[in-house]
């Protein structure tokens, strides 16, 4: 239900942009239809939504933690930003290369256990992702109109790091121990597919603004129990909804 709600919100926002853009573009000088500007540098600012617990990898360590720790997968939602370079092959196709950044620390406690003094047994779960992306976009009405929708796809090469630090229960004897001096850490690089869709609007001669939705799916290897994690995988999949701005040259 929550996933449906934010998807409705995202597409409603894109629809609103599509409605107001013609009025906004009427107040500014029209661009030169992009014919003379094949390159663009862009920036995006938005929100990352991780895949829900019912859609994540079966051996995902975050889902495995839900059996004992009091937090939700949705707690990993957070701000994301990035930049990219685009090059127009022709009026209907663009290729691009970009980089982004996301990081979130989720505070958790054991749901059914406390310390002998009654205090909570606390942990910090931290995920960081730096995706490097290669994309191709198809613009069905071209790069010359006042409203420019597009769809596309490509590959995401994600440099990631996941850690768990704090106090934990050893269920062999129900004792509590701390790993603060030697936290559980896994990192690596994962590769997976990337899909995107958006709409943008020219403002002046050399700038466009718009909105975009991106979907990525891939997993990383944590090392499992030998590295201190309950799952062998970390699911890095999710969707990002962002505001975009590009400068053509």
Q: Which pLDDT score, from 0 to 100, does residue 22 have? A: 45
Q: Tokens 């942009």 belong to which residue?
A: 17
pLDDT of residue 10: 43
pLDDT score recorded for residue 153 = 98
Output the pLDDT for position 13: 45
Contact 82, 100 (CB under 8 A): yes
pLDDT for res 134: 98
* pLDDT value of position 204: 86
Q: Judge residue 143's burial from the number of C-beta atoms within 10 Å of its C-beta, 0-12 exposed, 13-18 middle, 19 or more buried.
A: buried
**Strand 78-88 with 175-178, pairing:** unpaired
DSSP state of 177: E
How far is Cα 61 from Cα 236, in angstroms, rounded to an integer? 11
Of all helices (H) and strands (E), which one includes residue 130?
A: strand 120-138
Give the count of domains, the chain: 1
CATH number at residue 58: 2.40.160.20
| Whole-angstrom distance, CA of residue 100 vs CA of residue 45 | 10
Are 43 and 82 in contact, with CB atoms under 8 Å apart? yes
**Inter-CA distances, 240 with 81, 119, 129, Å:** 10, 37, 13
Give, for all 249 residues of the chain, the pLDDT tens digit. 444 444 444 444 444 444 444 444 444 444 444 456 899 999 999 999 999 999 999 999 999 999 999 999 999 999 999 999 999 999 999 999 999 999 999 999 999 999 999 999 999 999 999 999 999 999 999 998 999 999 999 999 999 999 999 999 999 999 999 999 999 999 999 999 999 999 999 998 899 999 999 999 999 999 999 999 999 999 999 999 999 999 999
| Separation CA 72–CA 19 (nearest Å) | 36
Predicted local distance difference test score (pLDDT) of residue 19: 43
Q: Return the pLDDT at 25.
A: 42
Query: What H or E segment, with its residue span, contains residue 19?
Result: helix 2-25
> pTM, whole model, 2 decimals?
0.85
The pLDDT of residue 21 = 41
Rounded distance between C-alpha atoms, residue 21 and residue 31, angstroms: 14
Domain that holds residue 126: 2-248
């Amino acid at each position: 239900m929550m996933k449906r709600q934010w998807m409705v919100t995202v597409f409603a926002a894109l629809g609103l942009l599509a409605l107001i853009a013609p009025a906004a573009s009427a107040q500014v000088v029209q661009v030169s239809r992009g014919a003379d500007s094949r390159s663009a540098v862009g920036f995006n600012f938005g929100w990352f939504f991780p895949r829900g617990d019912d859609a994540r990898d079966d051996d995902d360590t975050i889902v495995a933690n839900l059996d004992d720790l009091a937090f939700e997968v949705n707690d990993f939602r957070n701000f994301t930003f990035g930049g990219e370079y685009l090059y127009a092959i022709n009026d209907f196709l663009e290729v691009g290369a970009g980089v982004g950044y996301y990081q979130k620390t989720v505070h958790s406690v054991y749901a059914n256990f406390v310390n002998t003094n009654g205090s909570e047994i606390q942990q910090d779960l931290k995920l960081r992702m730096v995706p490097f992306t290669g994309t191709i976009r198809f613009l069905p009405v071209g790069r010359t109109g006042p409203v420019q929708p597009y769809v596309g796809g490509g590959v995401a090469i994600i440099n990631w790091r996941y850690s768990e630090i704090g106090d934990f229960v050893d269920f062999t004897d129900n004792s509590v121990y701390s790993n603060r001096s030697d936290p559980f850490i896994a990192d690596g690089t994962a590769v997976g597919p990337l899909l995107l869709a958006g709409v943008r609007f020219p403002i002046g001669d050399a700038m466009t603004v718009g909105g975009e939705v991106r979907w990525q799916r891939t997993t990383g290897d944590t090392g499992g129990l030998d590295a201190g994690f309950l799952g062998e995988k970390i699911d890095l999949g999710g969707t990002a909804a962002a505001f975009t701005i590009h400068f053509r040259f």
